[in-house]
Amino acid sequence: MTEDDDSVWTETTSLVDIRRDLHAHPEAGWKEFRTTALVASELDRLGFTLHLGAEAMAVDERLGVPDESELAAARTRARDENAPEAMLERMGAVTGLVAEKSYGDSGPVVGIRVDMDALELVETRAESHHPVREGFVSRHPKEMHACGHDGHTAIGIGLARELDDQSAFDGTLKLFFQPAEEGGRGAIPMSLSGHVDDVDCFVALHLGLGNATGTVIAGYDRPLCNCKFTVQFRGQSAHAGHAPEAGANALQAATTAIQNLYSISRHSDGASRVNVGGVTSPNGHNVISDHAEMMIEVRGETAEINQYMIDEARRITTHAAKMHGVTHDIETYGKTTTFKSDDEMINKVSTSASTVDSVTNVLRHEQFGASEDASYLIRRVQEQGGKATFVGIGSDHPDGHHTPHFDIDEASIRIGVDVLSKTINRL
């Protein structure tokens, strides 16, 4: 793709070019209008039944949704960047897609989840950065595919194409193109949509995660549970020199909370984490702060430990507000849980991966060191009697995930398609 090439994909557009087009047009969580519309158009061409936007999820269960003006601006931008109008109209103000197709009546229902969203991050413009050199660096200020979701989306499309070209699979395929993975916002509403309730075998996937190209992890499991929330402290402005006693300092409440959040006792039953990712309080030098916003994240090795951290964080912020005479509101921004991959699925993936020529190393189990909101989809499938796993597809990265220099090895896209298509046929 070139910097001036804004054409919509065709049936001859390669998966690498699709990935590069997505990388050049990143869309943060719940703003993936162009991505969803283009994917939907491609899968419609391939004969899939489409469930778009509100049809793909329980809308009222969404977390961390931007305000209406942000969504409207993102939708307008998507239209300006050649998103298929018919699909934009069908999805309305909600992104996300579940696409399904039957290849036979006797096989299982197989679900594959790929995430589509980008991060709110400024991509580097250094000449050493591959997307800069090849002309597909992000065109959107403060948005970047810095976690490989552009590659994940390309793998999902490649899988739909691959199965369309062969008939070994005798079952139903459901592709879950999930919005808002970052922050743990999109999987809960998709898991409650009803679309996963009949899934017999389920695979979520991720590129990289510290593994070299050619390595496949058949079963990641036990990610940390996670909860992100935003706290708004509201006080009373006053002149800091003339009448400071007339004010109620929201920023002081926030800083009191920060100090005590990091003092939460760690739990004896397993790992726990807490972090304050940002504090904002725009005031002048001589103004008592009347408003402060704080972003908090807690994690726990188990759901119980995570809940302990949530309860402690809420208790501390509540008492910090009371101590300084301000009010506060706490809003959950995103949430994940934990899971264990099923051995039956791990066996199928590892056996299939070992038959792919470009795969050089297959590992059965690895512990997922961070958090992942596919956990809710995996847990839902398992609760309904299905089997699930989280697969890692190795990809050489020049820098770590969530950094301005992140990029994927595009050879890993084909590996992902081959591993998953062989797994589906084996199922």
Question: To the nearest 10°, the Cα dihedral for 153, 345, 306, 265?
Answer: -110
Binding-site annotation: residue ranges for Mn(2+): 147, 149, 182, 206, 402
For residue 242, the one-letter residue type is H
Residue 64, Ramachandran bin (φ over 0: left; ψ between -120 and 50: alpha; else beta): left
CA–CA dist 43, 52 (Å, integer): 12
Burial string for 11-20 (b: 16+ CB within 10 Å, else e) reads: eebebbbbbb
**φ/ψ of residue 356, rounded to 5:** -90, 120
Instruction: Give the count of beta carbons closer than 10 Å to the beta carbon of residue 283.
Output: 16
Beta strands in 187-261 (DSSP E): 201-207, 215-221, 225-234
What is the distance between the alpha carbons of residues 81 and 237, in angstroms, rounded to a whole number?
Answer: 44
Cβ atoms of 82 and 6 within 8 Å: the answer is: yes
Question: What residues contact residue 187 under an 8 Å CB cut-off, 6+ apart?
Answer: 178, 181, 336, 373, 374, 375, 376, 377
Could you count the other beta carbons within 10 Å of the beta carbon of residue 157? 25
Q: In 327-399, where does DSSP find H-type helix?
A: 343-353, 374-383
Q: How far apart are CA 353 and CA 122, in angstroms?
A: 35
User: Which residues are part of a known binding site?
Assistant: 147, 149, 182, 206, 402
| Longest Cα–Cα distance in the chain | 80
Compute φ and ψ for 16, nearest 5 degrees: -65, -45
Q: What's the sign of the alpha-carbon dihedral 351, 102, 57, 414?
A: positive
58 by Cβ neighbours in 10 Å (0-12 / 13-18 / 19+) ranks as middle
